[in-house]
Chain A
């Protein structure tokens, strides 16, 4: 699976959009981009995934660049409960997940 690069930490004001970047320049054509998050001392939670097109669900939006070498997870209106470590993972659909260190997002009042 391709390797991903994420900033170690980011800050966001409550109510503003949080934009979390991820670089995956070695991604191959059949690899999906997944996002999970982990609130302190809990199990990770699936957020969203995509292959080529932008995706949106009730939690977030995923924007994938046309060359697929990077993506951005967008939380449109961040709340204090969105404070967590966010993991960007690329994988072939049926393979196991490989978690890096992720981005620690701190949402402040």
Chain B
């Protein structure tokens, strides 16, 4: 089945540790995105990538880093510089470019930092 996978579903870390969230897609989509969602809020864009080896900051990129070495993969690292890392993280992909229409979302990773 085609789709987007995120792992793990739940992740627990101690404060001060970097953590990397996985996102893989087999939809052959060019564009990939990372969003953050806090309780009762909408989604906020962290980073996005339109093509391999290229990515842009979203609205709340501080304290996060990404890489896009393969078309299928777009991992997100939550660094110790992120002040409030506990949140629900969602990865998405789309065809990309001017043809971009709908985004397909993964199931999300719920990160808790204590």
Contact = CB atoms under 8 A, between A and B. Distances in A.
B108 A93 contact: no
Contacts of A46: 102-104
B97 A99 contact: no
A44 B90 contact: yes
Q: Do most interface residues of chain A lie in helix, strand or loop, or is the interface mixed?
A: loop
B105 interface: yes
B33 interface: yes
A37 to B, nearest CB: 11
Contacts of A101: 40-42
B63 to A, nearest CB: 19
A49 B101 contact: yes
Interface of B: 4, 33, 35, 40-45, 48, 58, 88, 90, 92, 97-108, 110
